[in-house]
Structure 1
């Protein structure tokens, strides 16, 4: 493996250290890497469950206000993921693209880590959603509930809409990562994550890992009775969300900023 000897950018230096840390964990203990990937979707599922429950309650008091409440609560999912050092596939799209471009990892190794992370995010999302579906808060979900209507609207979107929304969803997620990556003060980091992630959650953009949790939660709480929820509809959403997420996080942020900081200019991040 070829590794760059010197990084002029503090951002690139921090990214390189994170990439090597991920590689080390993957090589030394794949079971621990898989568990950290599953934990990312556990935290996402907890955040999603609280967000849809709050959205339902707020809508009953202030019609239409549930969307704002949902978005604000959902943002804490990423706070948990960041502070509990779990592995999120969509942020790894950025890390692994950077790793390949800067020759920190070979393509095959980076792709293996990324695909393993996404797969175990899926496993974690399914398991966590199944468990939460048995709690009192989700025993009596109806067709008119905030969760069901939100997922039904997602499944009505066409492939191009899902793709473009996927670009912006992961662009925003990785902007949050980039913005906070070298922050030292926790309050500032948390506020940055909350207000940046709020943008994508409020606008309803498509994030494939978040959809692992929300789709699974809707399925288990309704017994699969979600309008428009077919195998083809779900797979289409996840496929085009994944592609869009990779463009937004992997190319527009990961590859782009790696290239921007690859020259001799003193203008670096």
Structure 2
């Protein structure tokens, strides 16, 4: 097994082995951790769209800034609650295959079930939140619905391009949590890094599990442009873009950059 005694790849290998151990020894617990990731994403999305709506009522454009700031706390919850996020596992599992820590069949199975149960968790969490007081009888021009309608109106090229950048940003934030030791520093870094993709409206397939589900249940399925085909195309294309950005441009690139012992070992 190829490894370093210290540094980024060593810590990534430890994380991969922990994920493999949980998956092999208790798939049900692994699936629950994947569902928890979208629980936290759904909570983050819910509070972010509500604060975004309030911000827009104060001043046009303020809502988007407040939304991006509050949404950023989703990753903080996911990291500190040890939940399993599909887009970060794109990076982990691709490195695991490239470095031969895991066989491709095992790595891809872990990634597949992580994404699947992210989806299930997002649907369940969104359904339950839609019953709460704040999400009862939302106006048709609510921040949540306009944001989701805007996502569904994008072309596949836009979704793919934004998906690349979204997961570059997410996995950069994950790398920071690996490199940094201080909890306050980790939290600050995650918030400001994730703010980039949230404010720019980039496409993150797992986050869209939550936002699409929440918009569907809260609106009773009346969001403009929300058809089965539109949602499916968005999610598939976003997944592919996320994979390129997180798995190839961050995962495999940094694995290659740290392949040999040099002064530039991360």
- What TM-score do the two structures reach when normalised by structure 1? 0.97
SS in 2 for 1:181: helix
Aligned to 1:77: 74
Aligned to 2:248: 251
Counterparts of 2:162 and 2:188, CA distance in 1:
24
The RMSD of aligned alpha carbons is: 0.8
Aligned to 2:145: 148
1:225 to 222, 229, 239: 222
1:201 aligns with 2:195: no
Aligned to 1:46: 43
- What TM-score do the two structures reach when normalised by structure 2? 0.99
Counterparts of 2:55 and 2:257, CA distance in 1:
44
Counterparts of 2:14 and 2:6, CA distance in 1:
12
| Structure 1 residue ranges, 4+ long, deviating more than 4 angstroms after superposition | none
| Bigger Cα displacement from structure 2, 67-76 vs 181-190 | 181-190
Gap regions ≥5 residues in structure 2: none
Gap regions ≥5 residues in structure 1: none
Aligned to 2:53: 56
Aligned to 2:91: 94
Q: How far apart are 1:9 and its partner, in Å? A: 4.9
1:190 aligns with 2:187: yes
Counterparts of 1:203 and 1:182, CA distance in 2:
26
Aligned to 2:102: 105
Aligned to 2:122: 125
What is the aligned residue count? 266
Aligned to 1:33: 30
Aligned to 1:265: 262
Q: How far apart are 1:8 and its partner, in Å? A: 5.2
1:236 aligns with 2:233: yes
1:171 aligns with 2:163: no
